[in-house]
Structure 1
Amino acid sequence: MLYPSIDKLLDKVDSKYSLVVAASKRARMLRDGSKTELKQKKSHKYVGLALEEIYEDHISYEKLQNKESLK
């Protein structure tokens, strides 16, 4: 069973696509040596850790809009 569940994760972000992008970018940072602030890790893989961080509000994301794409 996936922890945290997709339903609970989608409450933290605006779409499943944003979740994928945020988790993949954070997983890449973890792979490159960034440290996690999680006290009790349930996953030992980078993507799992990234999803746990999103769920526990250790990281957040900001959606940027390109002015050129709005025209």
Structure 2
Amino acid sequence: MLYPSIDSLMNKLDSKYTLVTVAAKRARVMQEKNDAKIQKPKSHKSVGKALEEIDAGILHYSTNKNVEVDTTPTTAE
């Protein structure tokens, strides 16, 4: 059985896409800076450690829903 389980992780975040995105970004930072915030992780890999941080409630995220998207077509020159 995998730890942490997908069920416990989905209670922390709103979608699987968000889970993957947050974990991947945190894993990349963790690899660059070697700064795991969880004590005695069960996983040896960065993504597993990031998932453990999410499950423990150490890692949080926020979204900016007020982002404007430019939908005007561009022309090739």
Q: Which residue of 2 aligns with 1:67?
A: 68
- Mapping for residues 45-64 of structure 1, pairs under 5 Å: 45-64=45-64
Question: Cα deviation per residue 1:17-37 (whole Å; 9 max; x = unaligned)?
Answer: 000000000000011114112
User: What residue identity is the alignment partner of 1:48?
Assistant: G
**Secondary structure of 1:40 counterpart:** coil
CA distance in 1, matches of 2:47, 2:15: 17
Structure 2 unmatched runs, 5+ = 71-77
CA distance in 2, matches of 1:57, 1:10: 12
Write out the 4+ residue segments of structure 1 that deviate beyond 2 Å after TM superposition: none
Q: TM-score, normalised by structure 2?
A: 0.82
Question: Cα deviation per residue 1:27-69 (whole Å; 9 max; x = unaligned)?
Answer: 0001111411211210010000000000001110002222227
Q: TM-score, normalised by structure 1?
A: 0.89
Once the two structures are overlaid, the 10-residue window that deviates more, 25-34 or 7-16, is: 25-34
CA distance in 2, matches of 1:34, 1:58: 16
| Structure number having the greater helix percentage | 1
